[in-house]
Structure 1
């Protein structure tokens, strides 16, 4: 549904009042959304109290109850992964545009139903792969497009964090990331790095993967994955994710015939090695507040709903990321390379 520009007087439904839901609410307010126009679905009473402190007075226990009380211009899905598709279907039936936190879902069982309803009701959908909005990635795309390292030969990506550090203010065992039944696990939640590979290098052709639990963390999900990837244009690479790393890493390295590009998200730097003169050039004058990227993705989605911009993080792209994840899991079980 195309929405008209109304100086941010849109009525928004935020589904999920956890940490990312509250971040989106704060960001909506920072771009001049009135608290009275921000509604939230959150069943937990402690989180409702936190939402009240943010000025959010209209809260509901579930999506269907929220839909009975109001019409909304768009929604932001921040609930546990396992609920995304069902909730998106309910919203799409009402013609409400949907911004979905990554990953899209824990499975694709009802994705065809969602796609049909979205098309029927002209619903616009975006996916919150926020690293696409990082100025570091903008720089990487610029370097690749200008052929700074020549023909690309190989890439390596790693996202490594320690699960108890995600939300140190709460018991990690209660976090949805720790629970299979809520769509948790490393390979799903840390799919940012697979999305960046897709965004920079194109569609995937095949994957060979290991995806398992190797730590003593009290969780029932995978805590690490290792993937060997091939893209449809013949580029090879590896991607590693884990939630056991005590020294956190978010890095991407790209090797080309003329040099290398190295991205360190924690250090906020992009470094380029040039083989011709054996020089190393570092770029580090980037915005340091990562929250700016969350605001950029939100603005992009709003402009998309207004018909003023293309969405940078499409539903189609996120479906392809999910297909990669499921192929990786299948590869782990079969011990074979899986073709997508």
Structure 2
């Protein structure tokens, strides 16, 4: 049995023709699915003979909603979703004045080992298929009762470590027969897998690329990000310049501020120096404190000083607003605590 959500329209049309059905049925079926009808028997304009074929060959891979937590602070909703094989992932719906954003996972767990991230603590279990990535957006739309206008691939997993499935997801989610979410409304976050950044650049897409940088030097970066042992900051920045040249898109650099590690005034000045002249924006993220390590967030004063130094050196910068602080809305926190409590 195959997950129907893993199929593009063209692939399902080909299946229809190969199985003696009219190709136009594919678009009808997807129309039902994207309008939250996930039972073949409820697809009223589909012939019974085709429904039987669909039941014999495909399942509609909408995960089970294990839990939904809603923040009393800002209305952020965090979903724990369970797939057919029992694996649990998490997604977060954030409501803004400009629309609903969803932060989705691309893998069950993660093998990148970044010290500030809870999703990597248990390692990578497996990749998500393109349909499993897509299903988070579909079910998120149902839960919030409104259109999802922005997608952030910044949940559990490293998107470029699951490259082919993520690329197919981007194609399907952008398609007019499906959710029709424009590429400019999609952000992909990576810890910096240089060959894949270059491969992504060559596709000349309009998505926003976000780089988890978190340090101005390789030595400091190695302290918190094992990927720094494979790719230097110079290599990452060169790949980013290539991406900008190919796409014309501004890069976002994510910088988790960790007290006493990378939050000093010299860190800020050095960061501004290496980014000077690049079409970029820095997103400062006060680190999410988790019980498995001793990383602490800086004081409000230190954060403001760091921000001001970047601004005074001509670097565009914002401090990320914390969402869902009362529901463990940071990457991997909720999944890990849920699995531990279920043992």
TM-score by length of 2: 0.29
TM-score by length of 1: 0.29
More helix by share: 2
Name which structure has the greater RCO, CA cutoff 8 Å, separation 6+.
Answer: 1
More strand by share: 1
